[in-house]
Amino acid sequence: MRLRVAGVIVLLYAQPVSRIVRLSIDDVIRDGETVLLRLGEPASPVPDPVAALLLEHIANRDNMNTATNSASHWPFPGRRAGQPALPDHLSALLNEVGVPTAAARGAAIGQQLLELPTPVVADALGYHDKTTSRLRNETGGTWSRYAPGDHGKSLPGSAAPTTLDS
């Protein structure tokens, strides 16, 4: 279960394993029927089948039966008291089950950048905007002229939008 959840986070959200192990259970947000994962702002929605897997994993985490880990806030608790799993160990386990973490993460972020503007990807996944811009250029993305922000507001000094009825 632990490897499935970690692998899905790598594949869907292009997260490095070093960041995955540092997530806390507070980064998994339940809002009614919706489950969100706080990787950046705003938190990213988790698709239904993955949400069920993530919630089941948190409810049945490994290494929770010891006195020192019984109240652990890590989704991937380590063997040492109060510490998350070691990223190198989790990455090696993922590689063993067929999820090459570096290649999978690169492919996932590349796909995100082909489908969405770089500022949106950077904010949602917690990447720096310069990193996503560089990666977008490497993947041949077409969102180079996207301007983030609220495009519904009028600029100061400009006339309010009119309709055919006004």
The domain locations on the chain are 2-100
Name the token pair of 101.
Answer: 């973490």
Q: How many Å apart are CA 97 and CA 7, to the nearest integer? A: 9
pLDDT category of residue 61 using cuts at 50, 70 and 90: confident
Q: What is the C-alpha end-to-end distance of the chain, expressed in Å?
A: 59
Query: Residue 41 in contact with residue 125, Cβ under 8 Å?
Result: no
3-state class of 141 per DSSP? coil
Round to whole Å and give the CA distance between 89 and 99.
Answer: 13
27 pLDDT above the threshold of 60: yes
Pairing of strands 34-37, 44-45: antiparallel
**120-146 pLDDT tens trace:** 878 877 888 787 777 777 766 665 555
Report which of 58, 30, 62 is spatially closest to residue 43, judged by C-alpha positions. Answer: 30
Residue 149 neighbours by CB distance under 10 Å = 7
Predicted confidence band of residue 164 (pLDDT cuts 50, 70, 90): very low
- Check residue 155 and give its pLDDT: 46
Q: Which of 56, 72, 67, 96 is nearest to 23 (CA)?
A: 72
Q: Residue 161's pLDDT band (boundaries 50, 70, 90)? A: very low
Of the pLDDT bands very low, low, confident and very high (cuts 50, 70, 90), residue 47 is very high
CA 67 to chain centre: 31
Distance between CA atoms of residues 35 and 86, nearest Å: 26
Model confidence at 18, pLDDT cuts 50, 70, 90, reads very high
Per-residue confidence (pLDDT) for residue 148, from 0 to 100 = 55
Flag whether pLDDT at 83 surpasses 60: yes
Across 3-9, average pLDDT: 94
pLDDT of residue 37: 95
Per-residue confidence (pLDDT) for residue 34, from 0 to 100:
95
